[in-house]
Amino acid sequence: MKISLNWLKDYVDLDGISAETIADKLTKTTCEIEGVEHKTLQEGIVAGEVIECKKHVSSDHLHVLKVKLSTGETRQIVCGAPNAREGIYVAVDTLLPSKELRGVKSDGMCCSLAELGLAGDDEGIWELENLEIPACEDWVFEIDNKSITNRPDLWGHYGLARELSVIFGRKLKGIDTGNTLKFDKLPRLDIKIESKNCLSYSSIMIDNVDGISSPFILQNRLYNCGHGSHGFLVDITNYVMLCFGNPVHAFDADKFNAVGGAKGKRDIKIRIGSAGRQFITLKDNIIEPDGDMLFVKSNDTPVALAGIMGGKDSGISKDTKSVIFEIASFDAINIRRTAMKLNLRTDASARYEKGIDPEVNFLAVAEVLRLVEKYAKRAVAVSSYTRVINYDKRDIEISLTKEYLDSFVGVKLSEDGILKTLCGLGFDSSIEKGKIGVKVPSFRSWNDIANKYDVIEEIVRFYGYENIKPLAPKVTLRRVERDIRQTGLESIKDCLVMKYGFTEVHTNIWYNTGICKSLNIEPVSYLKVINPFNKNDDKIRSDLLTSLLCLKQQGRIFEAARVWKTSNGKGENGEEEVRLSGVCESYIEAAEILRDLFDCKFKLRTADKDLLHPINNASVLINGQNVGCVGVIHPRIGKDLAGFEINLSMIDFKRKDEKAADISKFPKTILDFTFEWNGIYDELSGIFDGYDFYLKDIYENKFTLSFVLKSLVKTFTKSEIDAEHKKIIERAKRGGLSI
């Protein structure tokens, strides 16, 4: 939103304060100022009077003007504007080099407002009000709208002027709202509110408003604030909206009448409620109403989408002679809902969505009337200012103790400072015996100040956040232990990275359907994203290994991340599981790594995983529990790859009982045997249960095992060794091994 410094100065004295300072202070206290633009009039523009206007010899639409400048000099200027004529005052660019237009000399140019960057109007030359160029220098502040979402009172210059009055300790100008009273004797308008979504509705009908050109100050200020100029009446509505934040709408009264089938101006019926028939906006949107959308109606016919946009059939045109101004308040949520449904966001709807205080209606209508009185001398009010309300005035009173305030902020604040700030912001406040009491003004009562913390924020932001000194909290000393699951996972990651050279990656929580397909993977998912980023990628993953394979990376990678696991194999009931998964180039090494990390066992060919080789896979078991799988990646997906996936939620990270081994003083005896064995190595520990042995060598299916005989209390005798020798051979025979 753009804000003009000159406009602010209408409401608060800012003399002696630079625009940079204002921007800086506002950013620190109120809202984010993104930029400051200095607007000036270019050099060499001088006012002049057209004392002669003759048609150009060789052109139909050109005129040759004699312009007497305010400097006394008279110039000949060729001009192509349709409104060039004798007697008007113009703005002349005197620095333009002299040139010839169609053979006639032209010394300078009569400028349009657009050419001078003062307004959007390009239709003709600027007609000054007198022989003087009005003040044109201004500074324009760009406010980040996101920073005022919760401040409906700041969507107009007056609200910001109020903030500045407190920041700089200057007086805020009061607004006289009494100018509606003089119309009280005129007939009231027939207004009925049919919906709870209209909080207040007020109108006044005024005749003889045709043929008035929009004054410079309206055009220029609207232009500086990023708005176009659309004629006097529409400019009034936009201008007043930017004064107080309350949108204003204007209807052509005669059209309003006709559309509603009224017999005359006395018969006008203004209704606010739901519409039963189609409505066309002034931007040609065709709207089929539903029961929720709020409309302004002329009798039964919708004439405006309330709070959002006016209608084609009742809009202001150049010929409008009679106007109905609407100053209203609508329910924020309803307007927002409708605007979103129809994808119609306007300056008006943006303001209503924030929740405007209905009491601001009075400020808005006062300004409308002031502008009409000033610039439309023939205008005559035909109705009284009629206002119908459908809300309860808010009367919020909040109190808090000074002690609480000081403790909450961490600073002893001065009572004077507190009162000055609060009163300056419009809060009726007092401090008595350490108790602060405030009455929240109406314009801060809607979606804004609700409790003592909101009041504290008001006090502290003007105290200045930079004035609060950092204070260390006093805290009870206690031990804070790291979660053993976190430290356990950190160790696993470190081991994978430093010992085994894995690189940690991050992947998405949903599958990339396209890549899965290209790898011949059919991903299984129990949960979908309703509004996915890519239409095809809506499956929340149920495993992690697929995500890693989809990266198609060369090299060892791993990730510890979350998947959604269903609780019964189908349906969406389930929960998140944390998985650890890795891909490397060797099945055997993957197994070794898992053994190293988890001290696990393997059950060959039992991993139920479609991604793995049908033979070379295994379940990973810890204490008999199946915690994951490991295997060669199925060749249809990739060559020379192995992968694993472990369910970390099932890992018990309890600190292992680390105990030193008892070292015997007595020498141990080692007996080596070479067996032929065609089974799984793991089974040998069952066959030789009770014996301490290790693998010394393997050649094809011949295993050389070293059996260790040791004792803490004695050396084995020859006969004892022989006995063990026989026992081992016995065991081997029973187990099906041959020597």
Q: How far is CA 141 from CA 157, 170, 228, in A?
A: 11, 20, 18
Q: Is the dihedral of CA 252, 258, 263, 267 positive or negative?
A: negative
| Residue 326: CB minimum distance to other proteins, A | 25
Rank residues 373 and 457 by Cβ distance to other proteins and give the closer one.
457
C-beta of 187: minimal distance to other proteins in Å?
39
For residue 611, what are the contacts with CB-CB under 8 A and spacing of at least 6? 521, 543, 545, 546, 549, 633, 634, 637, 643
Query: Which one, 28 or 230, has the nearer CB to other proteins?
Result: 28
Q: Least distance in Å: CB of 328 to other proteins?
A: 20
**Residue from 97, 137, 376 nearest 235 by CA:** 376
Alpha carbons 150 and 612: distance in angstroms, whole number: 55
Tokens 């009908």 -> residue: 205
Rank residues 410 and 635 by Cβ distance to other proteins and give the closer one: 410
Pick 263 or 482: Cβ nearer other proteins: 482
Show the beta-strand stretches assigned E in 45-111.
45-55, 63-69, 74-79, 89-93, 99-101, 104-106, 109-110
Task: Report the residue number, 297 or 556, with the smaller CB distance to other proteins.
Answer: 556
Give min distance, CB of 432 to other proteins, in A: 21
Give the shortest CB-174-to-other proteins separation in angstroms. Answer: 26
Q: How far is the CB of 412 from other proteins (least distance, A)?
A: 11
CB of 468 to other proteins, least distance (A): 5
Q: Please state the closest distance from residue 431 (CB atom) to other proteins, in A.
A: 20
What is d(CA 545, CA 519) in angstroms, rounded to the nearest whole number?
13
The minimum distance between CB 406 and other proteins, in angstroms, equals: 9
Q: In 3D, which of 279, 275, 363 has the Cα closest to residue 327?
A: 363
- Minimum CB separation of residue 201 from other proteins in Å reads 22
Supply the minimum distance, in Å, between the C-beta of residue 444 and other proteins.
Answer: 14
- Least spacing, CB of residue 570 vs other proteins, in Å: 13
Q: How far is CA 420 from CA 238, 435, 577, 730, in A?
A: 33, 16, 57, 100
Rounding to the nearest 10 degrees, give the CA dihedral for residues 122, 126, 127, 132: 160
* Smallest separation, CB 17 to other proteins (Å): 20
Residue 519 to residue 553: CA distance in whole angstroms: 13
For 650, counting Cβ atoms within 10 Å of its Cβ (0-12 exposed, 13-18 middle, 19+ buried), the class is middle
Report the candidate in 519, 506, 510 with the shortest Cα–Cα distance to residue 542: 510
CA distance 540 to 529: 7
Of the pair 407, 536, the CB lying nearest other proteins is at 407
Q: Supply angle C-alpha 396, 399, 403, rounded to 5.
A: 160
Please give the Cα distance from 332 to 338 (Å, whole number).
Answer: 10
b/e per residue 293-325 (b: at least 16 CB within 10 A): bbbbbbbebbbbbbbbbbbbbbbbeeebebbbb
Between 99 and 499, name the residue whose CB sits nearer to other proteins. Answer: 499
* Smallest distance from other proteins to CB 466, Å: 6
Please report where in the chains the tokens 């007996």 appear, as a residue.
671
**Residue placing its CB nearer to other proteins in the complex, 549 or 627:** 549
Closest listed residue to residue 11, CA positions, set 372, 449, 363, 421: 363
Q: Which is nearer to other proteins, 31 or 243 (CB)?
A: 31
Least distance between other proteins and beta carbon 411 (Å): 6
Nearer to other proteins, 63 or 556 (CB): 556
Minimum CB distance to other proteins smaller for 571 or for 736:
571
Q: Rounded to a whole number, what is the largest CA-CA distance in the chain?
A: 140
Comparing C-alpha atoms, which of 675, 710, 719, 682 is closest to residue 696?
675
Q: In whole angstroms, what separates CA 153 from the centre of its chain?
A: 20
Sign of the CA dihedral running 62, 64, 66, 70: positive
Token output for 590: 């993957």
We find the least distance from the C-beta atom of residue 41 to other proteins, in angstroms, to be 31
Radius of gyration for the alpha carbons in the chain, expressed in angstroms and rounded: 42
| Closer residue to other proteins, CB minimum distance, 480 or 615 | 480
Question: Closest CB to other proteins among 162 and 387?
Answer: 162
Q: What are the structure tokens assigned to 91, written together? A: 């703005």
**Distance, CA of 540 to CA of 440 (rounded, Å):** 49
Give the residue with the Cβ less far from other proteins, 290 or 457. 457
Nearer to other proteins, 267 or 589 (CB): 589
- Cβ at position 625, least distance to other proteins in Å: 22
Smaller CB distance to other proteins: residue 154 or 205? 154
| CA separation for the pair 686, 645 (Å, rounded) | 27
Min separation Cβ 735 and other proteins, Å: 36
- Quick one: three-class SS letters along 237-296? HHHHHHHHCCCEEEEEHHHHHHHCCCCCHHHCEEEEECCCCCEEECCCCEECCCCCCCEE
CA 688 to CA 451: how far, in whole Å? 77
Cβ closer to other proteins: 150 or 606?
150
Specify the residue for token string 């060797």. 586
Alpha carbon separation from 620 to 495, 512, 608, 630 (Å, rounded): 19, 27, 11, 7
Give the DSSP H or E segment for 142.
strand 138-143
Which residue, 108 or 355, is less far from other proteins as judged by CB? 355
